[in-house]
């Protein structure tokens, strides 16, 4: 459970922003999305390779500029 202590004279917006940041760090939504649909291991591997190739391409472009 995430607990946010609201400080004196703190606006609700700021407290909500801190809550959202903490919630995002826990990774609950990310895991929920992953569990919604099964992905075959071969598809996962293919996605990892595609992302790695994209990152390498972007690094090469940055070095060339």
Tens of pLDDT along the chain (65 residues) come to 888 889 899 999 999 999 999 999 999 988 998 899 888 999 999 999 999 999 999 999 998 77
Q: Tokens at residue 30, please?
A: 């990310």
Q: Around Cβ 39, how many Cβ atoms within 10 Å?
A: 10
The dihedral built from the CA positions of residue 47, 28, 16 and 7, taken in this order, carries a sign that is negative
DSSP string spanning 15-33?
A: HHHHHHHHHHHHTHHHHHH
Query: 3-class DSSP state for residue 47?
Result: helix
**Cα(65)–Cα(61) distance, integer angstroms:** 6
Whether pTM exceeds 0.85? no
């Amino acid at each position: 459970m995430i607990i946010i202590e609201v400080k004196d004279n703190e606006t609700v917006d700021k407290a909500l922003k801190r809550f959202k940041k903490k919630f995002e760090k826990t990774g609950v939504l990310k895991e929920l999305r992953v569990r919604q649909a099964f992905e075959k291991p071969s598809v996962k591997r293919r996605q990892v390779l595609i992302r790695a190739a994209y990152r390498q391409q972007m690094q090469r472009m940055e070095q060339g500029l």
